[in-house]
Amino acid sequence: MSLFKRSIVFSFILILTFGFNPLVFAVENQQLQMAQSDKAKLEAELSNLEREIAQKQKELEGQKGQSVSLSRDISILTTEINKSKLNIQAKNLTIKKLGGEIVDKNKKIQSLTEKIELEKQSLAQLIRKDRELDDMQILSLALSRTSISEMYGDVQNFSSIKNAVKNSVDAIRGVRTETQTEKKTLEEKKNKETDVKVQLENEKKRVEQNEADKKKLLSISKNKESEYQKVLADKAKRKAQILSALFNLRDTGAIPFGRALDYANEASKVTGVRPAFILAILTQESNLGTDQGSCLVTDMKTGEGMSSRTKKVFKNVMAPMRFNNVDKGDIKYFLQITSELGRDPYKTLISCPIGGVGWGGAMGPSQFIPSTWVGMRGKVAKALGKTSADPWIARDAFFASAIFLGDLGASSGGYTAEWNAACKYYSGGKCPTVLKTDTENEKKRKSNIIAYGNQVMARITKIQTTMIDPLQN
C-alpha cells in the first residue's frame, strides 16, 4: 500500500474517531446562538421585573410603618397584590427560561450519548486493526516487504493506530464525564422548575386571599370606621388563639404554639431551615405515634417492651444490636444517654415499632434512635450553648430536628430540597421513584417514604398559611 493510500485510510480512521461533521456542527452552533439570544431576552425581562418588585417591597415597608388605619391596610393589600402579580410574571418567565434550558440540556446529553456510541464504533475498528498488526511480527513484516521504506511505512502506521486507540479511549472517558456533568445540571434545572411552579401556585393563592381581604375592607369603608375596629379586634383574638393553641410533641407533652414558634424561629436562624418545616416534621413525628402510643423497654437484653397506653407487648421495641454488631445496638447507647441525663431507662418513653414491625426505640419529639442521637448531641448542645442536649426537652428537640434537616439539604430551601429532606429524615434516602419492575414489597416501601414526604409538605403549607402568616399580617 502506498504512503498516500495509508494517509487516506488513517485520516478516515481519525474522522471516525472524533466524529466531526461540519454540517452538523454548523446547525448545532446556530441553534445554540438562538437559545442564548432567547435566554438573554428573558434574563433582561426578569431583571426589570425584579427591580419593580424591589420597589413594591420598599413601598410596602413604608406603608407598614404608618399608624394603623383602614386606608393604610387597604393600601398595604393593594401593594401586596401588585407585588404578587409582578412575582407571578417573574416566575412565569423563570419557568419559560428553565424550560428552554432543559430542552437544551436534553439535546446536549443526546448529542454526547451519540458521540460516545460513535467513539465506541471507531474504537472497535481501531482495535481490530491493532490486533491485525499485533498478529504480524516485525520480522515477518520485514520479510514480506520488498523494501525497507515500505516496511517503515507499515511500522509507522502501526504506531499511529496505537496512538489513535489511546486517543479514542481518552475521548470516551472525557465525553462520559461531560455527560454525567450535564445530567446532574439537568436534574438541578428540573428541580428548580418544580420549585418555581410550586412558588407560582402559592403566589396565586396569596393574590386570591389578599383580593378577598381587600374587598372586605372596601365594603367596610363604605359604612363606618368603627366596623374596622371590630375587624382589628377579631384579628387580635385570632392571633391570641393561635399563640395559645397547644402544639403536641411526642413523648414530652404539648406546649403553646407561640413557644413552639419561638423555638422554631431560633433554630431556623442557626440552620437556615424554615420554621414551618421544623414544626411540620415534629407534628408528623408526633402523629406517627398515635396508633400505638409510646413504649417502655422492659428487657434491656432482648429489647422487648410494651405500649404505655394499651399495655400491648412488643418483642421489638429497641434493637439490642444492628447489623449483627452489639456495639452498634441502640440499647447500649440508650442506657448511656439516660444515665448521663439522670433518667430511669425503664420509665423513659420511646417509640413503639410502627405497625408492630421493624424496630422502635426513637426518642423524644424529634424521634432520633439512640445510635443516631449520640452522633448528633454534640452539634445540638453547641448550637444551644449548653454542655449536654436532652432529646426529651422540647427546645433541644427543635434544634436537633433543624440541624438534622439542614444536614439533609433543607437549608437551601425550595420544594424539592425540602421534600427530599423530609424523605431522608424518615428513611435515610431521598424521595424514591416507584418503578414497574419493583417487587410488591419494594413498591410498598417506596410508597410509604413518598407518602411521608408528601404529608410533611402538606403540613408545611397548612402551618404557614393558617398559623404563621396570620400572626405576621
> pLDDT for 300-325, tens place per residue?
999 999 999 889 999 999 998 765 55
Tell me the pLDDT tens digit for each residue of 338-384.
999 999 999 999 999 887 678 899 999 999 999 999 999 999 999 99
Residues 57 and 106 in one domain: yes
How many distinct structural domains can be found in the chain?
2
How much is the pLDDT for 150? 53
Given a cut of 60, is residue 151 above it in pLDDT? no
Same domain, 203 and 265: no
| Res 189: pLDDT | 86
* Count of CB atoms situated within 10 Å of the CB of 13: 17
Residue range 231-259: average pLDDT? 90
Which is more confidently placed, 152 or 213?
Answer: 213
**Residue 438 belongs to some domain of the structure:** yes
Judge whether 400 lies within some domain: yes
- Domain of residue 86 covers 3-221
Average pLDDT, stretch 80-107? 88
Stretch 69-78: mean pLDDT, rounded?
A: 87
pLDDT band at 6 (very low <50, low <70, confident <90, very high): very low
Contact of 265 with 284, CB cutoff 8 Å: no
Res 262: pLDDT: 97
* pLDDT grade for 3, boundaries at 50, 70 and 90: very low
Q: Give the pLDDT confidence score for residue 13 in this predicted structure.
A: 47
- Tell me the longest C-alpha to C-alpha distance in the chain: 115
Q: How many CB atoms lie within 10 A of CB 218?
A: 12
**Measured distance CA(176)–CA(46) in Å, rounded:** 34
Residues 205, 78, single domain; the answer is yes
Cell 396569596, residue? 206
Question: Same structural domain for residues 78 and 201?
Answer: yes
Give a yes or no: residue 232 inside a domain: no
Q: Is residue 350 part of a domain?
A: yes
Contact 190, 102 (CB under 8 A): yes
Does 410 share its domain with 306?
Answer: yes
* Residue that wins the pLDDT comparison between 150 and 343: 343
Reduced to 3 states, what is the DSSP secondary structure of residue 313? strand
**Are 43 and 158 members of one domain?**
yes
Out of 30-34, 79-83, 241-245, least confident range: 30-34
Mean residue pLDDT of the chain comes to 83
pLDDT on residue 177? 85
What does the buried/exposed string (b/e) look like for 65-92 if buried means 16 or more CB atoms within 10 Å of the residue's CB?
Answer: eeeeebeebbbbbebbbbbbebbbbbbe
Supply the pLDDT for residue 322: 63
* Number of alpha carbons in the 13 Å side-chain half-sphere of residue 180: 5
Q: Are strands 294-297 and 350-351 parallel, antiparallel or unpaired?
A: antiparallel
Q: Is residue 233 part of a domain?
A: no
**Mean of the pLDDT values across residues 260-264?**
97
With 70 as the cut, is the pLDDT of residue 216 above it? yes
- The pLDDT of residue 36: 67
Identify whether 249 is part of a domain. no
pLDDT on residue 169 = 73
Mean pLDDT of 330-335: 94
Quick one: pLDDT at residue 63? 84
Instruction: Based on the fold, state whether residues 325 and 380 are members of the same structural domain.
Output: yes
pLDDT score recorded for residue 412: 84
* Ramachandran angles phi, psi of 298, nearest 5°: -110, -20
Quote the pLDDT of residue 11.
47
Residue 32: which region, alpha, beta or left (left: phi > 0; alpha: psi -120 to 50)?
alpha
Calculate mean pLDDT across residues 431-458: 94
Domain C-terminal end among 202, 221, 240: 221
Question: Would you say residue 176 has pLDDT above 50?
Answer: yes
The pLDDT, as a whole number, for residue 120 is: 77
Query: Is residue 184 domain-shared with residue 270, that is, in the same domain?
Result: no
- pLDDT value of position 153: 54
**What percent of the chain shows pLDDT beyond 90?**
42
pLDDT digits (tens, 9 = 90+) for 182-199: 888 888 888 888 888 998
Please give the model's pTM, rounded to 2 decimal places. Answer: 0.75
Residue 330 falls inside a structural domain: yes
pLDDT surpasses 80 at 144: no
Q: How many CB atoms lie within 10 A of CB 340?
A: 11
